Structure formats: C-alpha cells, structure tokens
Amino acid sequence: MDKQAFLVLHKTLSEMGIPLHETRKAVCLPLSNKIAMGYVPPEAWSNFDICKRQLSWYSTSQFAGRYLLISGTDINEYGFDFKPSTIITKVKFKPIDLPGSDNEKIKELSDRKSFTLSCPSAFKDIESMDNGMQSRWLKIMGIAGITYKDLFTLQCANHANFIEPDYFIDSEDGPIPYSIGMTKQVCSACLEFFNIIGTKFKKKFVVPCPGAVLFAGMSVNTYYEVKAINLDSISMA
C-alpha cells in the first residue's frame, strides 16, 4: 500500500489497541507465527547488510516505495477494504522433476534472457563479497563441495524459474512454478513470497531460504503455496 493508506491503517489500528510490529531489517520477520501483524517500510529493504544485495529487486519493482503489511488474519475484519497481494500457506508438495546436479541446465536457467533483463545489477554483484566471507557463509549454511559462485548460479536459476519456468506443474489456473533447490540452496525467497518475482503467476510453490527459516521460523525444505489474489492491481510489466 502507499504511504497515505498505510498511515491511515496504522492510526486506526493504534486507536483500536491492535499492535503492529515494524521490521527494520529482515523483511521476512513478519512471516513468523509469533507476529500477528507486522509491516515492512520501504527503507527496510536496504537496511540489512546480509540481505541488502539480494533485496535490490524491491527498488526496481512495481512495489518500490510502498509499505508491505503481513497479517495472520484478514485485516478487513477491522473495517478496512483491502485485497491482499498474496496468501501464503504451508502445503504438502513434492516436485516430480528437479535439475539436481545438472549444472548445464542450472546455468541455462541462470543465463536466460528473461532473467538477466529483470535482474538488478546490484543483485549480480557478488564480487563485492570477499572470499573469506563467502567461505564463512558456505560453512554457516553447511554447504560443502561447491564454490560460492556455483551456489549463486543455482540461486539465480531458482529465481529465473519463477520468471520463465521450466519446472512447474499444470493447473486450471495456468503453470505453477516451484523452487528448484532445498533451503540451503535458495536465496531471498521473500522475493517470491511477496510477489516481487513471479508476479504473473496465480500460484507458486516456494521453499523458504535460510533467512526465512532463521528469522521467521518457517519450515526447512518445505513448500509453501503463494496464491496471488489481487493480480489486476499489479503491473505485469
């Protein structure tokens, strides 16, 4: 929502005594079951050093400058008239087809024109992260036998599959793309959860990244359905 709509909502909820949690760094934090209702202000997307590069997608998206409200219940019960962008639900889903260790297929996805044209230059700048930090990150994630560059290629391929998917299931609502890696292999899943990537699809099946597990308590290696509700109000460019 824009700033004016957010300020009206914030004032109304405050007068009703309903707490609204502000996240100042990890934008996935309000997805936690421990937070009934939270919001992400525009500046939060660039405040967290760990995620700043990854979240550069926000500033080039149709949502740039807008406030994100995340609620475990329908806020219209309090007298508002908002349509959600997405509804996120844990589901039992196991993909039949994945690229696995097919490096050629992973690279083909990450090099796909539809991805490279959409991807902000800041997201691609992993060279600014020194080798020592890259090694520590791999160790923290429990990843061995792969370089950070190769892991990044897989992370790019995963995002690319939500733009022009090769891995999806057919449905009456059209293709449903899904994450092509486990939690430790994917990055910035919030971009799919919050419909910044994969906007044109009515449904997506998304595996949380390590940050969403750490900060929001989401389940490791588990798919969540992301159902787009209000596509008509979202720019499809």
Is residue 54 in a domain?
A: yes
Using the Cα atoms of residue 74, residue 231, residue 226 and residue 214 in order, give the sign of their dihedral.
negative
Q: What is the structure's pLDDT at 18? A: 94
State the Cα–Cα distance between residues 228 and 11, nearest whole angstrom.
Answer: 27
Residue 70 DSSP SS3? strand
Dist. CA 237–CA 229, nearest whole Å: 18
Distance CA(26)–CA(44), nearest Å, equals: 8
What pLDDT is attached to residue 157?
97
pLDDT at 145 over 90: no
pTM for this predicted structure: 0.92
Same domain, yes or no, for 122 and 220?
yes
CA 40/CA 69 separation, integer angstroms: 7
- Rounded CA gap, 189 and 146, in Å? 21
Domains held by the chain: number? 2
Query: Confidence band (pLDDT; 50, 70, 90) for 234?
Result: very low
Query: pLDDT class for 133, splitting at 50, 70, 90?
Result: low
For the stretch 44-97, pLDDT in tens is 999 988 888 899 999 999 999 999 999 999 999 988 888 888 999 999 999 999
Q: Quick one: pLDDT at residue 140? A: 66
Residue 115: inside a domain: yes
Q: Are residues 7 and 75 in the same domain?
A: yes
Residue 96 lies inside a defined structural domain of this protein: no
Same domain, 164 and 119: yes
Residue 108 in domain:
yes
Q: Are 30 and 38 in contact (CB under 8 A)?
A: yes
**pLDDT average, residue stretch 208-218:** 93
Q: Which of 225, 71, 53 minimizes the C-alpha distance to 148? A: 53
Q: 68 lies in a domain?
A: yes
Do 22 and 77 fall into the same domain?
yes
pLDDT > 70? residue 232:
no
Same domain membership, residue 137 and residue 39: no
Is 89 inside any structural domain?
no
Dump pLDDT digits (tens) for 7-18.
999 999 999 999
74 and 152 inside one domain: no
Is residue 46 assigned to a domain?
A: yes
Kindly report which listed range (3-7, 145-149, 203-207, 222-226) carries the lowest average pLDDT score: 145-149
Do 133 and 213 fall within a single domain? yes
Shared-domain flag, residues 222 and 113: yes
pLDDT in tens, 151-171: 899 999 999 999 999 999 999
Kindly state whether residue 91 falls inside one of the protein's structural domains.
no
pLDDT at 146: 79
- Among the candidates 23, 52, 83, a domain finishes at 83
Q: What is the mean pLDDT of residues 12-25?
A: 94
Closest to 88 in 3D by CA, of 72, 77, 75: 72
Looking at the structure, do residues 143 and 178 belong to the same domain, yes or no? yes
Containing structural domain, residue 66? 3-83
- For 190, residues 6+ apart whose C-beta sits below 8 A from its C-beta are 27, 28, 31, 55, 196, 209, 211, 212
